[in-house]
Copies of this chain bind each other. A is one copy, B any other.
């Protein structure tokens, strides 16, 4: 809260760590270009993977629907995550790759914006909504589907600097 509002008549009094929940003040942070890459996987039985890659799922083309759902989900991040600041994304890109060795669909999301806060949550939300969409479209084929390994691979920008998950872990 700005100094001029710190008199008892106007101030919030709980401005200490144990004062509950808040959307923390990011107004002093400068505007920088931020990017993030997140990944995740949806493990499916082999016959479901085949139905996806051969586009035989009754509801439609699983990978394309999931890709679009992920992009739209990224734009709703601040409405879904209670303490997440809204940011005007300048780019969102998703990649979904079937991997027959691991019986899974691998998802990567890339997000970008210029602002005071990072775009990690937007990338992670994109991955999560894309994964849920794959689940939804395949759930009539099998209930043995697992969404897993949703994590941040890399980020750039912001005061905390850049980050790369070490490749062994990122893989």
Q: What residues of chain A have their CB less than 8 Å away from a CB belonging to chain B? A: 1-2, 4-5, 9-15, 17-27, 33, 35, 37, 40, 55-56, 58-61, 63-65, 67-69, 71-73, 75-76, 78-95, 108, 110, 112-116, 120-121, 124-125, 128-129, 131-133, 135-137, 139-140, 143-156, 160, 162-165, 167, 169-171
Chain B residues whose C-beta falls within 8 Å of the C-beta of A15 in the assembled complex: 93
Q: Name A126's closest neighbour in chain B (CB-CB).
A: B23
CB distance from A69 to the nearest CB of B (A): 5
CB distance from A93 to the nearest CB of B (A): 4
CB distance from A37 to the nearest CB of B (A): 5
**Distance A115 CA – B64 CA, assembled complex (angstroms):** 28
Chain B residues whose C-beta falls within 8 Å of the C-beta of A60 in the assembled complex: 20-22, 83
**Distance A25 CA – B151 CA, assembled complex (angstroms):** 23
CB distance from A103 to the nearest CB of B (A): 14
